[in-house]
């Protein structure tokens, strides 16, 4: 916030996918104003590079929740894909591409996929779907569509 304007700060916790994060709020004492929220892990390290902003506290909180939920969903899908690839296509590098409504997982390096794994963004954000379910689906897909590409570390 810019010079001379009194502001207040506080923190709240927010949990998504069984992980707790901290929202660090900062905003003006008087209205109107813009509220900012830094999204941090429990050690205080920023997980989202920019602060999320809103015209009200509630709008800033809502936007921070949406940003964190999306970021965490992409992160956990990538982690599940890496574990599945390590078993099904050893040595492959996982690449996750984000599109407006979907997330696309591909393999590069010594393996490639004949058909990329595609997940609807709304499905990836579903808190009821576990990482183990994603991992099983990805491993099955990698085994069905993974082909050696002849790159460094390619299977025999």
* CB 72, CB 19: distance < 8 Å: yes
Whole-number Å distance between alpha carbons of 47 and 16: 13
Q: How far, CA to CA in Å, does 156 sit from each of 27, 49, 74, 126, 150?
A: 60, 42, 32, 39, 9
- Structural domain boundaries of the chain? 7-69
What's the per-residue H, E or C state across 42-83? CCCCECCCCCEEECCHHHHHHHHHHHHHHHHHHHHHHHHHHH
CA 65 to chain CA centroid, Å, is: 12
In a structure prediction context, what are the per-residue pLDDT tens digits for the chain, which is 156 residues long? Answer: 455 668 889 999 999 999 999 999 999 877 667 899 999 999 999 999 999 999 999 999 999 999 999 999 999 999 999 999 999 999 999 999 999 899 999 999 999 999 999 999 999 999 999 999 999 999 999 999 999 987 555 555
Q: What does the pLDDT look like over 98-131, one tens digit per residue?
A: 998 999 999 999 999 999 999 999 999 999 999 9
Residues 104/38/132/102 CA torsion (nearest 10 deg): -20
* CB 105, CB 92: distance < 8 Å: no
């Amino acid at each position: 916030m810019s010079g001379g304007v009194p502001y207040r700060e506080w923190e709240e916790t927010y949990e998504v996918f069984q992980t707790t994060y901290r929202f660090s709020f900062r905003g003006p004492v008087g209205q109107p104003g813009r509220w900012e929220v830094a999204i941090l892990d429990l050690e205080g390290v920023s997980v989202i590079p920019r602060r999320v902003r809103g015209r009200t506290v509630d709008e800033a909180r809502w936007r921070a929740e949406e940003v964190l939920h999306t970021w965490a969903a992409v992160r956990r899908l990538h982690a599940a894909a890496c574990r599945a690839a390590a078993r099904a296509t050893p040595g492959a590098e996982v690449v996750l591409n984000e599109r407006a409504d979907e997330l696309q997982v591909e393999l590069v390096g010594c393996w490639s996929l004949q058909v990329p794994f595609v997940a609807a963004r709304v499905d990836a954000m579903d808190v009821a779907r576990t990482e183990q379910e994603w991992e099983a689906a990805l491993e099955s897909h990698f085994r069905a569509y993974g082909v050696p590409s002849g790159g460094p570390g390619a299977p025999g």
